[in-house]
Amino acid sequence: MNRKIGLADIVKGEAGLSRAVELLAAGEAVALPTETVYGLAADATNGKAVAKIFEAKGRPRFNPLIVHVADMKMAADIAIFDSLSRKLAAAFWPGPLTIVLPLRIGHKIHPLVSAGLDTVGLRMPDGLAHEVIGRLDRPLAAPSANSSGRISATTAVAVEADLGGKIPLILDGGPTSVGVESTIVKIEDGMVRLLRPGGVSVEDIEAVVNTPLLRGASEKIEAPGMLASHYAPSAAVRLDATALMPGEALLAFGSFAISGSPLATRNLSPSGDLREAAANLFSHLAELDASGASTIAVTPIPRHGLGEAINDRLARAAAPRDNPAAAK
Ligand code: TXA
Ligand code: MG
């Protein structure tokens, strides 16, 4: 079933898949689902195509994009893997882990993608995105499919609401299963540094590499939405709420001692499951935002496992909005 709203076609199934591949081969930017969030994808070797991503997102250009690959051959043509990064790829790909690696001499990635750095963030996604890259047989640059500074989209409808007027096609694969962006790590002299918590927990990575991850930005390129205010809904966000104030919508987790908001209430996971909470995070924030509440109050959320990524995104949503990159 296809439907057309605004400019973007929302397409599903085999017909959708082949249209997406056709448009990408022709140098267009297309929204498609990964297991984490929807991505706004373009051929990573085609500068004009990649420029369309920046244009649609209104993204500050100094932010490098993640490159998505279908297999290890494609990955190894782009970047230099050491034994640690091979181990991580073997353990978590396809899946929600991005590994920042040195670019290989002779690689075909357009400099706009790496923002002029000599490193590249690589990941092998699961699901429909994987299928698209395999058929296209070219790597895809894809940031999350949302305007710069706004909440990431976990459904085709959310992409349409934000970017529908700016892109030709949204491939609809249903709600994404993980719900938060990939974890980003960088390999540094045989150590692994966490640049952004995400869909693979730190505990799971540490179990594979057998050593604690380094923390904190190592150099100037601040990873992900390292911009302080990021992932921002229109409403203000108040964290660790233990009581509700007038005009507030409520975002709860598990069984909480506050009764619901008269405006709108969502529970990320009534049973207290952090995976379920991650999958619900962005759609619940968007729904509470649509209620017209001036502020979204969020009850405390545990910090272990995927709780680290959830708290990271919420802290950015709650940060003061004085950063020009987020003021849209
Ligand atoms: O789950 C995800 O990672 C989603 C889906 C679509 O794959 N993508 C995503 O992309 O979240 P984006 O562009 O919204 O966030 C990617 C972050 C950027 O903030 C960027 O700073 C960081 O990755 N990054 C990319 N390349 C890097 C590099 N060479 N060094 C350090 N950070 C890098
Ligand atoms: Mg993003």
Q: Is the peptide bond before 94 cis (omega within 30 degrees of 0)?
A: yes
Indicate the range of 37-41, 147-151, 245-249 predicted with least confidence.
147-151
Q: What is the structure's pLDDT at 194?
A: 96
Q: State the pTM of this model.
A: 0.85
Q: What is the structure's pLDDT at 99?
A: 98
**Residue 246 in this model has a pLDDT that exceeds 80:** yes
Q: Provide the 3-class DSSP secondary structure of residue 161.
A: helix
Q: What is the structure's pLDDT at 111?
A: 82
Mean of pLDDT over the chain: 89
**Residue 127 in this model has a pLDDT that exceeds 70:** yes
- Ligand 1, pocket-test mutation among 62, 80, 98, 229, most atoms within 8 A of CB: 98
What residue owns the CA closest to ligand 1's atom 17?
224
CA distances from 212 to 202, 205, 255, 271 (A): 9, 9, 32, 30
| pLDDT, average across residues 192-219 | 90
Q: What is the structure's pLDDT at 226?
A: 52
| pLDDT, average across residues 305-311 | 89
Q: Is the CB of 201 under 6 A from ligand 1?
A: no
**Residue 222 in this model has a pLDDT that exceeds 50:** no
Q: What is the structure's pLDDT at 328?
A: 31
Q: Do 147 and 248 touch, CB atoms closer than 8 A?
A: no
At residue 26 the predicted structure's pLDDT band, cuts being 50, 70 and 90, is: very high
- Ligand 1, pocket-test mutation among 152, 181, 281, 306, most atoms within 8 A of CB: 181
3-class DSSP string for 231-262: CCCCCEEECCCCCCCCCEEEEECCCCCCCCCC
* Atom nearest to 181 CA in ligand 1: 1
Q: How far apart are the C-alpha atoms of 11 and 4, rounded to whole Å? A: 9
Q: Provide the 3-class DSSP secondary structure of residue 318.
A: helix
CA distances from 318 to 36, 239, 306 (A): 22, 7, 19
Q: What is the structure's pLDDT at 231?
A: 67
Question: CB neighbours (10 Å) of residue 30?
Answer: 30
pLDDT digits (tens, 9 = 90+) for 40-97: 999 999 988 988 898 898 866 667 899 999 999 999 999 999 999 999 999 999 999 9
At residue 6 the predicted structure's pLDDT band, cuts being 50, 70 and 90, is: low
Q: Is the CB of 64 under 6 A from ligand 1?
A: yes
Of the chain, the percentage scoring pLDDT greater than 70 comes to 90
Of the chain, the percentage scoring pLDDT greater than 90 comes to 68
At residue 324 the predicted structure's pLDDT band, cuts being 50, 70 and 90, is: very low
